[in-house]
Amino acid sequence: MQGINIKTKSAVIGVKGTTFLVDVRGKNIIVFLKEGELDIKSIKGQFKRYQKKQMSEFKAYKQKQQEEFAKFVKSFR
């Protein structure tokens, strides 16, 4: 879908059209659409899975960097 993406803490709203309004009230998101298309997706679960994957990859990267640095330091002895 082409158009505008509106990101909130819990959803990404894709709007394709000309007249719309987004009202965020606390945890509630209200979308008023006069014409066009909507594509609303919750990102809460997706974000947690993404975050977990990124942290796992970062930990592996950090471990590798520490090992390489230790080898580098030893090369000066």
Q: Token pair for residue 9?
A: 């803490």
Name the residue ranges covered by the structural domains of the chain.
1-42, 44-77
Whether pLDDT at 16 is above 70: no
28-71 pLDDT, tens digit per residue, is 777 787 777 766 666 666 667 777 788 888 888 889 999 999 99
In this prediction, residue 66 carries a pLDDT of 92
| Residues 13 and 29 sit within 8 Å (Cβ to Cβ) | yes
In this prediction, residue 27 carries a pLDDT of 74
- How distant is the alpha carbon of residue 69 from its chain centre? 31
